[in-house]
Chains A and B, each alone.
Chain A
Amino acid sequence: MTFSDGEKIIILMLTELHAKLQVEGEMEPEFLRSAIFNDMLWSIKWKYTGIPFSESDDPPVVRDVLDILEMWSSIERSYAKLPPNDREMLQQKLGVHAESPRFQGFDGNNESEHVSTALFLVNELDRFVEFKGRSLNCHYPSLDIHHRMLGVFKPLRKKFALTHISAADMLAVLEEQVHPSNRTA
Protein backbone atom coordinates (compact mmCIF):
# COMPACT_ATOMS: atom_id res chain seq x y z
CA MET A 1 0.00 0.00 0.00
CA THR A 2 1.32 3.44 -0.87
CA PHE A 3 -0.02 6.92 -0.11
CA SER A 4 0.95 10.06 -1.96
CA ASP A 5 2.28 12.92 0.15
CA GLY A 6 -1.09 14.66 -0.25
CA GLU A 7 -2.99 11.56 0.89
CA LYS A 8 -0.78 11.31 3.98
CA ILE A 9 -1.59 14.90 4.90
CA ILE A 10 -5.32 14.37 4.28
CA ILE A 11 -5.36 11.21 6.42
CA LEU A 12 -3.38 12.87 9.23
CA MET A 13 -5.80 15.80 9.20
CA LEU A 14 -8.76 13.38 9.26
CA THR A 15 -7.26 11.56 12.25
CA GLU A 16 -6.96 14.90 14.07
CA LEU A 17 -10.59 15.70 13.30
CA HIS A 18 -11.58 12.19 14.36
CA ALA A 19 -9.89 12.67 17.74
CA LYS A 20 -11.14 16.22 18.24
CA LEU A 21 -14.75 15.24 17.52
CA GLN A 22 -14.39 12.09 19.65
CA VAL A 23 -15.84 9.95 16.87
CA GLU A 24 -16.48 6.36 17.91
CA GLY A 25 -15.86 4.54 14.68
CA GLU A 26 -14.16 1.35 13.60
CA MET A 27 -10.99 3.03 12.32
CA GLU A 28 -8.30 3.69 14.91
CA PRO A 29 -6.78 7.12 14.22
CA GLU A 30 -3.79 6.53 16.52
CA PHE A 31 -2.89 3.42 14.60
CA LEU A 32 -3.15 5.22 11.23
CA ARG A 33 -0.93 8.04 12.53
CA SER A 34 1.62 5.54 13.75
CA ALA A 35 1.58 3.66 10.41
CA ILE A 36 2.21 6.90 8.51
CA PHE A 37 4.83 8.37 10.85
CA ASN A 38 6.73 5.06 11.08
CA ASP A 39 6.45 4.45 7.34
CA MET A 40 4.66 1.14 7.92
CA LEU A 41 1.85 1.61 5.41
CA TRP A 42 1.86 -2.13 4.62
CA SER A 43 0.48 -2.65 8.14
CA ILE A 44 -2.88 -1.04 7.30
CA LYS A 45 -3.85 -4.14 5.32
CA TRP A 46 -2.88 -6.28 8.29
CA LYS A 47 -4.91 -4.20 10.70
CA TYR A 48 -8.10 -3.91 8.68
CA THR A 49 -8.39 -7.42 7.32
CA GLY A 50 -12.09 -6.97 6.54
CA ILE A 51 -11.51 -4.21 3.98
CA PRO A 52 -11.16 -5.64 0.45
CA PHE A 53 -7.90 -3.84 -0.43
CA SER A 54 -6.23 -4.54 -3.76
CA GLU A 55 -3.83 -7.46 -3.84
CA SER A 56 -0.18 -6.64 -3.14
CA ASP A 57 2.86 -8.22 -1.52
CA ASP A 58 4.30 -6.99 1.75
CA PRO A 59 7.81 -5.47 1.61
CA PRO A 60 10.65 -8.05 1.67
CA VAL A 61 11.78 -6.93 5.14
CA VAL A 62 8.30 -7.66 6.52
CA ARG A 63 8.31 -11.14 5.03
CA ASP A 64 11.79 -11.77 6.43
CA VAL A 65 10.84 -10.58 9.92
CA LEU A 66 7.68 -12.72 9.83
CA ASP A 67 9.67 -15.82 8.91
CA ILE A 68 12.11 -15.16 11.76
CA LEU A 69 9.41 -14.40 14.37
CA GLU A 70 7.45 -17.47 13.31
CA MET A 71 10.55 -19.64 13.67
CA TRP A 72 11.45 -18.33 17.13
CA SER A 73 7.84 -18.54 18.28
CA SER A 74 7.82 -22.24 17.33
CA ILE A 75 11.20 -22.81 18.99
CA GLU A 76 10.24 -21.18 22.29
CA ARG A 77 6.83 -22.84 22.42
CA SER A 78 8.22 -26.26 21.54
CA TYR A 79 11.16 -25.99 23.96
CA ALA A 80 8.78 -25.23 26.82
CA LYS A 81 7.02 -28.53 26.12
CA LEU A 82 10.13 -30.67 25.84
CA PRO A 83 10.62 -33.31 28.55
CA PRO A 84 13.67 -32.81 30.83
CA ASN A 85 15.70 -35.58 29.18
CA ASP A 86 15.33 -33.90 25.76
CA ARG A 87 16.41 -30.55 27.22
CA GLU A 88 19.39 -32.24 28.80
CA MET A 89 20.34 -33.82 25.46
CA LEU A 90 20.16 -30.39 23.77
CA GLN A 91 22.32 -28.80 26.46
CA GLN A 92 24.90 -31.53 26.21
CA LYS A 93 25.17 -31.08 22.45
CA LEU A 94 24.81 -27.31 22.21
CA GLY A 95 25.88 -25.96 25.59
CA VAL A 96 24.88 -22.36 26.15
CA HIS A 97 22.93 -22.21 22.86
CA ALA A 98 20.34 -24.62 24.21
CA GLU A 99 19.79 -23.01 27.61
CA SER A 100 16.18 -21.87 27.30
CA PRO A 101 16.46 -20.66 23.69
CA ARG A 102 14.91 -17.23 23.50
CA PHE A 103 14.44 -14.74 20.65
CA GLN A 104 16.84 -11.86 21.35
CA GLY A 105 15.83 -9.66 18.40
CA PHE A 106 18.00 -7.87 15.88
CA ASP A 107 20.93 -5.46 16.01
CA GLY A 108 19.50 -2.00 16.66
CA ASN A 109 22.49 -0.32 14.99
CA ASN A 110 22.84 -2.26 11.76
CA GLU A 111 19.49 -4.09 11.47
CA SER A 112 17.24 -1.27 12.58
CA GLU A 113 14.63 -1.85 9.86
CA HIS A 114 14.17 -5.38 11.18
CA VAL A 115 13.92 -4.12 14.77
CA SER A 116 11.31 -1.48 13.95
CA THR A 117 9.28 -3.87 11.77
CA ALA A 118 9.30 -6.53 14.49
CA LEU A 119 8.32 -4.00 17.16
CA PHE A 120 5.48 -2.72 14.98
CA LEU A 121 4.19 -6.24 14.33
CA VAL A 122 4.29 -7.12 18.02
CA ASN A 123 3.17 -3.89 19.64
CA GLU A 124 0.89 -2.22 17.09
CA LEU A 125 -0.56 -5.22 15.28
CA ASP A 126 -0.62 -7.60 18.25
CA ARG A 127 1.11 -10.36 16.34
CA PHE A 128 3.47 -12.79 18.09
CA VAL A 129 2.33 -11.38 21.42
CA GLU A 130 4.69 -13.76 23.23
CA PHE A 131 7.46 -11.27 22.35
CA LYS A 132 5.64 -8.28 23.85
CA GLY A 133 7.66 -6.40 26.42
CA ARG A 134 11.04 -7.36 24.93
CA SER A 135 13.29 -4.66 23.46
CA LEU A 136 14.07 -6.88 20.43
CA ASN A 137 17.48 -5.20 20.24
CA CYS A 138 20.19 -7.81 20.74
CA HIS A 139 23.12 -5.40 20.16
CA TYR A 140 25.01 -7.81 17.89
CA PRO A 141 24.66 -8.68 14.19
CA SER A 142 21.98 -11.35 14.09
CA LEU A 143 20.61 -11.67 10.56
CA ASP A 144 23.19 -14.22 9.41
CA ILE A 145 22.34 -16.37 12.41
CA HIS A 146 18.56 -16.14 11.88
CA HIS A 147 18.94 -16.88 8.17
CA ARG A 148 21.16 -19.91 8.77
CA MET A 149 18.56 -21.21 11.21
CA LEU A 150 15.75 -20.49 8.73
CA GLY A 151 17.57 -22.53 6.10
CA VAL A 152 17.04 -25.59 8.32
CA PHE A 153 13.70 -24.54 9.82
CA LYS A 154 11.76 -23.80 6.62
CA PRO A 155 11.92 -27.31 5.13
CA LEU A 156 10.92 -28.72 8.54
CA ARG A 157 7.97 -26.35 8.94
CA LYS A 158 5.69 -28.46 6.75
CA LYS A 159 6.50 -31.52 8.85
CA PHE A 160 5.44 -30.10 12.21
CA ALA A 161 2.90 -27.59 10.86
CA LEU A 162 4.00 -24.85 13.27
CA THR A 163 2.89 -26.89 16.27
CA HIS A 164 5.62 -28.80 18.04
CA ILE A 165 9.24 -29.28 16.98
CA SER A 166 10.87 -32.52 18.05
CA ALA A 167 14.10 -32.42 20.05
CA ALA A 168 16.07 -33.78 17.08
CA ASP A 169 14.71 -31.12 14.72
CA MET A 170 15.30 -28.40 17.32
CA LEU A 171 18.89 -29.55 17.66
CA ALA A 172 19.35 -29.15 13.89
CA VAL A 173 17.85 -25.63 13.95
CA LEU A 174 19.65 -24.41 17.11
CA GLU A 175 22.96 -25.78 15.89
CA GLU A 176 22.88 -23.12 13.18
CA GLN A 177 23.36 -20.43 15.83
CA VAL A 178 27.03 -21.38 15.83
CA HIS A 179 28.95 -20.22 12.77
CA PRO A 180 30.03 -23.25 10.67
CA SER A 181 33.70 -22.33 11.08
CA ASN A 182 33.35 -22.48 14.87
CA ARG A 183 31.63 -25.85 15.08
CA THR A 184 33.34 -28.89 16.52
CA ALA A 185 33.04 -32.06 14.46
Chain B
Amino acid sequence: MISVAGEVGPATDPKRLRGVDSARIARELSEYVRLVLDESSHFPADIANEARDFCDRLGPDIQALAEARIPEVQKALGTRIHQNILAFQSHAKKLADDQQVEPLKTQNRGAK
Protein backbone atom coordinates (compact mmCIF):
# COMPACT_ATOMS: atom_id res chain seq x y z
CA MET B 1 0.00 0.00 0.00
CA ILE B 2 2.99 2.23 0.59
CA SER B 3 3.77 1.88 -3.11
CA VAL B 4 0.26 3.12 -4.03
CA ALA B 5 0.64 6.20 -1.84
CA GLY B 6 4.17 6.53 -3.21
CA GLU B 7 2.75 7.23 -6.68
CA VAL B 8 1.99 10.72 -5.38
CA GLY B 9 4.40 10.55 -2.45
CA PRO B 10 7.41 12.53 -1.26
CA ALA B 11 9.82 11.26 -3.95
CA THR B 12 7.63 12.32 -6.86
CA ASP B 13 8.32 15.29 -9.12
CA PRO B 14 5.09 17.34 -9.46
CA LYS B 15 5.77 18.06 -13.11
CA ARG B 16 5.55 14.31 -13.78
CA LEU B 17 2.22 13.97 -11.95
CA ARG B 18 0.27 15.74 -14.72
CA GLY B 19 -2.78 13.70 -15.64
CA VAL B 20 -2.24 11.16 -12.87
CA ASP B 21 -5.44 9.34 -11.90
CA SER B 22 -5.58 10.44 -8.28
CA ALA B 23 -9.18 9.19 -8.00
CA ARG B 24 -7.92 5.63 -8.65
CA ILE B 25 -5.15 6.06 -6.05
CA ALA B 26 -7.72 7.40 -3.58
CA ARG B 27 -10.00 4.41 -4.26
CA GLU B 28 -7.17 1.96 -3.55
CA LEU B 29 -6.22 3.82 -0.37
CA SER B 30 -9.86 3.82 0.75
CA GLU B 31 -9.90 0.04 0.32
CA TYR B 32 -6.87 -0.15 2.60
CA VAL B 33 -8.57 2.03 5.21
CA ARG B 34 -11.68 -0.13 5.00
CA LEU B 35 -9.56 -3.26 5.48
CA VAL B 36 -7.81 -1.78 8.51
CA LEU B 37 -11.18 -0.80 10.03
CA ASP B 38 -12.66 -4.25 9.33
CA GLU B 39 -9.69 -5.98 10.91
CA SER B 40 -9.42 -3.61 13.84
CA SER B 41 -12.10 -5.51 15.76
CA HIS B 42 -9.67 -8.42 15.97
CA PHE B 43 -6.85 -6.26 17.34
CA PRO B 44 -6.04 -5.77 21.00
CA ALA B 45 -7.64 -2.59 22.35
CA ASP B 46 -4.62 -0.28 22.07
CA ILE B 47 -3.85 -1.31 18.47
CA ALA B 48 -7.55 -1.05 17.57
CA ASN B 49 -7.68 2.50 18.96
CA GLU B 50 -4.54 3.39 17.07
CA ALA B 51 -6.03 1.90 13.87
CA ARG B 52 -9.25 3.88 14.21
CA ASP B 53 -7.31 7.13 14.84
CA PHE B 54 -5.18 6.36 11.81
CA CYS B 55 -8.24 5.87 9.60
CA ASP B 56 -9.83 9.07 10.93
CA ARG B 57 -6.66 10.99 10.11
CA LEU B 58 -6.40 9.52 6.62
CA GLY B 59 -10.05 9.93 5.57
CA PRO B 60 -10.13 13.67 4.74
CA ASP B 61 -6.80 13.53 2.88
CA ILE B 62 -7.94 10.58 0.76
CA GLN B 63 -11.18 12.38 -0.05
CA ALA B 64 -9.26 15.51 -1.04
CA LEU B 65 -6.83 13.46 -3.13
CA ALA B 66 -9.70 11.97 -5.15
CA GLU B 67 -10.70 15.48 -6.26
CA ALA B 68 -7.21 17.00 -6.54
CA ARG B 69 -6.12 18.07 -10.03
CA ILE B 70 -3.10 20.24 -9.32
CA PRO B 71 0.12 18.18 -9.18
CA GLU B 72 1.55 20.18 -6.25
CA VAL B 73 -1.64 19.56 -4.25
CA GLN B 74 -1.62 15.87 -5.19
CA LYS B 75 1.96 15.59 -3.99
CA ALA B 76 1.28 17.43 -0.71
CA LEU B 77 -1.70 15.18 0.07
CA GLY B 78 0.12 12.06 -1.10
CA THR B 79 3.14 12.88 1.05
CA ARG B 80 0.99 13.34 4.15
CA ILE B 81 -0.87 10.07 3.47
CA HIS B 82 2.42 8.27 2.80
CA GLN B 83 3.90 9.52 6.08
CA ASN B 84 0.75 8.58 8.01
CA ILE B 85 0.83 5.03 6.62
CA LEU B 86 4.52 4.65 7.44
CA ALA B 87 3.97 5.94 10.97
CA PHE B 88 0.97 3.67 11.52
CA GLN B 89 2.72 0.60 10.15
CA SER B 90 5.76 1.07 12.33
CA HIS B 91 3.63 1.80 15.41
CA ALA B 92 1.30 -1.14 14.76
CA LYS B 93 4.28 -3.41 14.20
CA LYS B 94 5.84 -2.32 17.48
CA LEU B 95 2.59 -2.90 19.36
CA ALA B 96 2.16 -6.26 17.62
CA ASP B 97 5.74 -7.26 18.42
CA ASP B 98 5.22 -6.27 22.05
CA GLN B 99 2.09 -8.37 22.23
CA GLN B 100 3.17 -11.04 19.74
CA VAL B 101 0.20 -10.34 17.51
CA GLU B 102 0.40 -10.94 13.77
CA PRO B 103 0.48 -7.49 12.09
CA LEU B 104 -1.99 -6.68 9.32
CA LYS B 105 -0.61 -7.81 5.99
CA THR B 106 -1.55 -6.13 2.74
CA GLN B 107 -0.85 -7.16 -0.80
CA ASN B 108 2.30 -5.73 -2.33
CA ARG B 109 1.26 -4.24 -5.68
CA GLY B 110 4.75 -3.46 -6.94
CA ALA B 111 5.88 -0.15 -8.43
CA LYS B 112 3.74 1.97 -10.67
Binding partners A and B: yes
Beyond A50-B6, A162-B70, is A66–B18 a contact (Cβ under 8 Å)? Answer: yes
What residue in chain A is nearest B23 (Cβ atoms)? Answer: A129
Query: Is B111 an interface position by the 8 A CB rule?
Result: yes
Enumerate chain B residues within 8 angstroms of A163, measured Cβ to Cβ. 69
Enumerate chain B residues within 8 angstroms of A185, measured Cβ to Cβ. none
Query: Is A60 an interface position by the 8 A CB rule?
Result: no
Query: Is A52 an interface position by the 8 A CB rule?
Result: yes
Query: Is A8 an interface position by the 8 A CB rule?
Result: no
CB-based A-B contact count at 8 angstroms: 52
Total count of chain B residues near the partner, CB < 8 A: 19
Contact of B12 among A50, A70, A128, A161 (CB under 8 A): A50
Within 8 A of B (CB), among A108-166: 121, 126-129, 161-163
Which of A26, A49, A51, A121 gathers most chain B CB within 10 Å?
A: A49
Assembled-state Cα–Cα distance A46/B6 (Å)? 13
Chain B binding surface, main DSSP class: loop
Task: Given contacts A66-B18, A162-B69, list 15 more A-B pairs with CB under 8 A.
Answer: A26-B110, A26-B111, A49-B16, A50-B11, A50-B111, A52-B11, A69-B19, A70-B18, A121-B19, A126-B20, A127-B21, A129-B24, A161-B69, A161-B70, A163-B69
What residue in chain A is nearest B6 (Cβ atoms)? Answer: A50
List chain A positions with a Cβ less than 8 A from chain B.
24-28, 45-52, 66, 69-70, 73-74, 121, 126-129, 161-163
Which of A47, A50, A66, A73 gathers most chain B CB within 10 Å?
A: A50
Assembled-state Cα–Cα distance A127/B7 (Å)? 12
Enumerate chain B residues within 8 angstroms of A26, measured Cβ to Cβ. 3, 110-111
